[in-house]
Structures are given as C-alpha cells and as structure tokens.
Structure 1
Amino acid sequence: MTKTPTGRLFRGQSGPDLVLTRTFRAGTEDVWASITEPDRTARWFGPWEGDAGPGRTIKVQMAYEEQTPWCDVRIDACDPPRRLAVSMTDEAGEWAMELLLTEVASSTELRLVQHLQSEAGLGEVGPGWEHYLDMLVAAENGLPRPHFDEYYPAMKAYYDGLTAQPDEA
C-alpha cells in the first residue's frame, strides 16, 4: 500500500520547521499518555527510563531502529496535556522537537514540529516521522504496525522537494 506524505515545511524562528499532523478519536489525556508513559511509548517508538521533568534528561530506546539504540532526551518543556518539547542527541545529530496536542470535539490533533538546523536530509527524516506517527496511530487503534518500506524510499522525493513556507498563523 502506498502512503501519502503529509509533512509541511515552514520558516520557523531559528530555521525551518518540519510539521506533521495526525488526528485521533480520543481525548487529549489519552493521546498525552501515549506520548509520555514508557509502557505506551514502547508500543510505537520505544521505552524510556529516568526521572522525567523539565530540564531533566531521560534515556529513550529507539526500539524500531536498527540495533535498537538508546539515546539521551532532554525535556525542554512539559505542559500536560498540551505540549512536550524535547531535544534528542543520537549518532545522526541533535533533534529539537515539540509535540502539541489540541482537542477538538471528541478528537485530538497531534502536531509534531521538528525544529531543523537546515533542510538537508529531509528525504530521510520526513518518511521516518511519517512512519513513527502512523505507528502511534496503529497503537492507539489496536491496528498492526506499518512497515518502514511503505514510507521509504517512496516519500523521499516529496520531502527532498519541500521548501519552507511562511510561518503558520
């Protein structure tokens, strides 16, 4: 099955921002638990350990990557159940991102915003986030996890061709 890429690129305050959105038929508290509780993050991203809190660093296992590496994740901001901002360091570099939740009627919109240093590598990064977010959707809905080969290299050209738009209003 061919997946359709959803990411968009905007000019952020300090560089380009990659934004991907998913909508869940669940309340904000439930989606928040899926992105913050280690037993639930393990279902779609990987487990984490440590003493979580703003300004603290935890260890997160990227359970669906080759060799399932552990990496340090600093919690930059945590405003339950609306906003989680983190910085992650791994062999690919530094990643600064936010997960923003908004409840509308009986649904919750999740926006993943990755604050990029440049547009280089979008062809690899974008399909990866599409895959992880769809794994979150599958975990929330009790569906089978999608396979990465449904995303990459099929979405690479789309993400390589993105250019930053003016900031979202």
Structure 2
Amino acid sequence: MSPHPTGELFRTGTGSDLVLTRTFRASAEDVWASVTESDRTARWFGPWEGDAVPGGTIKVQMAFEEQAPWMDMRIDACEPPQRLALSTTDESGTWRLELLLSEAGGSTQLRFVQHLDSDDQIGEIGPGWEYYLDMLVAAHNGSPKPDFNDYYPAMKPYFTALIPRT
C-alpha cells in the first residue's frame, strides 16, 4: 500500500505553515515521550543529547539521512505534553518547527507545523516530513517502517500543487 500525502499549507503574515497531522490511540503523555525522549526519537528520527531546556540547544542525529549527520537544535518552547517548538539553521536556512498535541476520547492528535518563510522547497520538504511522521507512527505502533522511495519523488506534485497561484 502506498502512503498518501496529508499536508496542508496555510498562509500566515510572514509566510506559510505546512501542517501535517497524525492520530494515535494513546495518551498525550505517551505520544509526548515518543517525540521528546532520546531513546524513542532514535526509533523514527534520531537520538539527541544535551540539556533539553527551553532556550537551550541540543545535538540531534538525523539517523535516517545519508551519513547520519548531527545538527544543533534550539528548544524554543517546551510545554509538556502539549507543545514543543524547535528551530535549527542549515545551508537551506532556518527551520522552525512545532509539535502540538491534543488528547480526546482515548486518542491523541499530533499536529506537526513547519513555519516556512518561502514555499520554494515544499516539494522536497513535504514528502520528507510525511515519511518521518509515518516513521513515528510505525515506531509507536510497532509496525513495519516505511520506505522513503514511496514518498519522494511520488509526493512532490501534491505538495507543489499546494502553493497558491498568484
């Protein structure tokens, strides 16, 4: 079964927000642990090390990328178990991310938001986050890991079509 893209693009006063949502049959605390505890993030994104405090910087390994690089990531906000805001800067610019959790009726919804200054790379960024969030679901549920080749370039047209035509 091929994965289906779920991302939505919303205009903001400073650019756009790329929003992807996943739902878990678990408590917000359990999902929070999956996105904040190093041994659990290692299963779907990569491990991290350092003093994880708001305003602090941790080192995160992108374990499922070529050469598994490490990067510095700043913790902009941490409000367990509802909101985690992170940012990092690389050769592509600054990446500003938010993970927003809400629990209702025995399920937790995770809204992943990337605040974009430009839509230029959405055709690459969107499929990548779909893949990583499906990796999170697989790690959380104990199901087989997805294959990145099912996401990119197959999902690129979906994401580029989200860009409003002016």
Q: TM-score range by the shorter chain?
A: over 0.9
Structure 2: state its 5+ residue gaps.
none
Deviation at 1:93, TM superposition (A): 2.4
TM-score by length of 2: 0.96
**Corresponding residue of 1:84:** 84
Deviation at 1:13, TM superposition (A): 3.5
CA distance in 1, matches of 2:13, 2:99: 17
| 1:30 paired to 2:24 | no
Aligned residues: 164
5 Å matches for 1:85-124? 85-124=85-124
For structure 1, which segment, 12-21 or 64-73, has the greater mean C-alpha deviation from structure 2 after superposition? 12-21
Deviations 1:16-65 (A, max 9, x none): 00000000000000000000000000000000000011000000000000
**Corresponding residue of 1:48:** 48
Task: Give me the identity figure in percent.
Answer: 69
Structure 1: state its 5+ residue gaps.
165-169
CA distance in 2, matches of 1:47, 1:136: 13
Q: Greater RCO between the two (CA within 8 Å, min separation 6)?
A: 1
Deviation at 1:78, TM superposition (A): 0.3
SS of corresponding position for 2:45: coil
CA distance in 1, matches of 2:74, 2:3: 31
**Corresponding residue of 1:11:** 11
Structure 1 runs of 4+ with >6 Å offset: none
**Corresponding residue of 2:61:** 61
Deviation at 1:163, TM superposition (A): 2.7
